[in-house]
């Protein structure tokens, strides 16, 4: 593959996802040649990167067909592209769904990561590998906040798969000297978040309710708390982690937790709707104070069989080693998402 000697080449698995699309933007802006792996499907799912295919960096963006379960074609793509940086952000990422499809979740998040490590181990040149690990590998940690030394204790199939993959990255780093980094990221959100994650369900629902297109949103556990940050900031950390002198694991988090209830209250308030919550647990509802209408309801079907607890990250190492710090946190994330979804509806 021809390229100018000074141009950096990156391969992104998961380029059509929230993080992949922001990372592709960032790398193109930095002058990289960006290669992305996309899945062959009957329907195109490229809405998040469509703008990049016609933008100024379009000549530096190349897409390749493969699948996380097709290790031979992944190997072929890596050999052809010869990337210096590989960002592995792909895989089944819904925790609730991982209870329904644990085997696919493991194949995509655990086995495929190992396959990539094997592919990179065989390369005749040095490559840097970023693995999107997750706070879910801590599951029900004994301590909060968690840092890079907190023991893994996953409580769902997704967390188990991520724990395996993260440990394998550590093993390949130690055994083969591979530049492999685990970004142990806590929840990070944006208007590009999939609609079945709670933040987007809330922001889109609030926007539609405000526009008179929907009556209510139905959620699960409102007491669940998460350390919510802003995805465009998190992809900066991913890039920084591969520019460091040595490969390490980093907690990527805001350090503050917000409940689903407070996240919803902030999103609705941003669009001029104050909420009054009543009832408890699985019977809780929220009304708009201006109209009295119920706009939020809890349905136990959205509860998880086991809920991860006290997931709160201590990102001091990322701050010290990479100069990275999350700036947009919890309620501010909710406000920005609600605003963006409402603006998109109006447009």
Binding site for ligand F7E (CB under 6 A): 93, 95-96, 134-136, 186-187, 196-199, 201, 219-221, 224, 226, 260, 302, 304, 307
3-class DSSP assignment, residue 219: strand
Query: Measured from the CB of residue 273, what is the shortest distance to ligand F7E in angstroms?
Result: 19
Query: Measured from the CB of residue 50, what is the shortest distance to ligand F7E in angstroms?
Result: 22
Query: Measured from the CB of residue 187, what is the shortest distance to ligand F7E in angstroms?
Result: 4
Query: Measured from the CB of residue 209, what is the shortest distance to ligand F7E in angstroms?
Result: 15
For ligand F7E, the closer of residues 118 and 307 by Cβ is 307
Alpha helix positions (H), 122-230: 157-176, 198-210
- Residue 18 to residues 90, 271, 279, 296, Cα–Cα distance (Å): 10, 24, 35, 26
Query: Measured from the CB of residue 72, what is the shortest distance to ligand F7E in angstroms?
Result: 27
Work out the number of other CB atoms within 10 angstroms of the CB of residue 259: 15
Q: Which long-range contacts (CB under 8 A, 24 or more apart) does 28-32 make?
A: 28/52, 28/55, 28/56, 28/57, 28/60, 28/61, 29/57, 30/239, 31/7, 31/60, 32/7, 32/8, 32/60
Query: Measured from the CB of residue 175, what is the shortest distance to ligand F7E in angstroms?
Result: 26
For ligand F7E, the closer of residues 83 and 139 by Cβ is 139
**Beta 294-298 vs 285-288: how paired, if at all?**
antiparallel
**Of 18, 11, 20, residue with least CA distance to 60:** 11
Q: Which residues of 131-144 are buried (b: 16+ CB within 10 A; e: fewer)?
A: bbbbbbbbbebeee
For ligand F7E, the closer of residues 177 and 281 by Cβ is 281
For ligand F7E, the closer of residues 85 and 136 by Cβ is 136
φ/ψ (deg, to 5) at 165: -65, -40
For ligand F7E, the closer of residues 122 and 299 by Cβ is 299
For ligand F7E, the closer of residues 186 and 342 by Cβ is 186
């Amino acid at each position: 593959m021809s390229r100018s000697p000074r141009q950096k080449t990156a391969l992104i698995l998961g380029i059509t996802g929230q993080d992949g699309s922001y990372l592709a933007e960032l790398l193109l802006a930095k002058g990289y040649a960006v290669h992305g792996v996309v899945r062959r499907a009957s329907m195109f799912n490229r809405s998040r990167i469509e703008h990049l295919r016609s933008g100024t960096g379009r000549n530096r963006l190349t897409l390749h067909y493969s699948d996380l379960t097709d290790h031979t074609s992944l190997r072929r793509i890596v050999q052809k592209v010869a990337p210096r940086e590989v960002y592995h952000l792909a895989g089944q990422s819904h925790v609730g769904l991982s209870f329904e499809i644990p085997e696919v979740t493991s194949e995509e998040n655990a086995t495929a990561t190992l396959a990539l490590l094997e592919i990179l181990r065989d390369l005749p040149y040095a490559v840097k590998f970023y693995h999107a690990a997750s706070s879910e590998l801590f599951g029900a940690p004994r301590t909060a906040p968690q840092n890079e030394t907190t023991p893994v204790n996953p409580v769902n199939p997704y967390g188990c798969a991520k724990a395996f993959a993260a440990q394998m990255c550590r093993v390949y780093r130690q055994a083969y000297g591979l530049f492999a980094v685990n970004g142990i990221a806590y929840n990070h959100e944006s208007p590009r978040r999939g609609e079945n994650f709670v933040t987007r369900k809330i922001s889109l629902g609030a926007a539609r309710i405000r526009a008179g297109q929907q009556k209510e949103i139905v959620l699960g556990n409102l007491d669940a708390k998460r350390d919510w940050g802003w995805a465009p900031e998190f992809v900066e950390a991913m890039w920084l982690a591969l520019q460091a002198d040595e490969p390490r694991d980093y907690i990527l988090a805001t350090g503050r937790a917000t409940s689903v209830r407070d996240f919803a209250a902030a999103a609705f308030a941003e669009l001029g709707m104050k909420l009054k919550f009543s009832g408890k647990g699985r019977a809780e509802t929220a009304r708009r104070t201006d109209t009295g209408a119920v706009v939020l309801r809890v349905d136990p079907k959205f509860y998880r069989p086991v809920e991860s607890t006290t997931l709160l990250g201590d990102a001091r190492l990322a701050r010290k080693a990479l100069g990275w710090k999350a700036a947009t946190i919890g309620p501010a994330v909710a406000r920005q998402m609600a605003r963006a979804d409402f603006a998109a509806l109006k447009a």
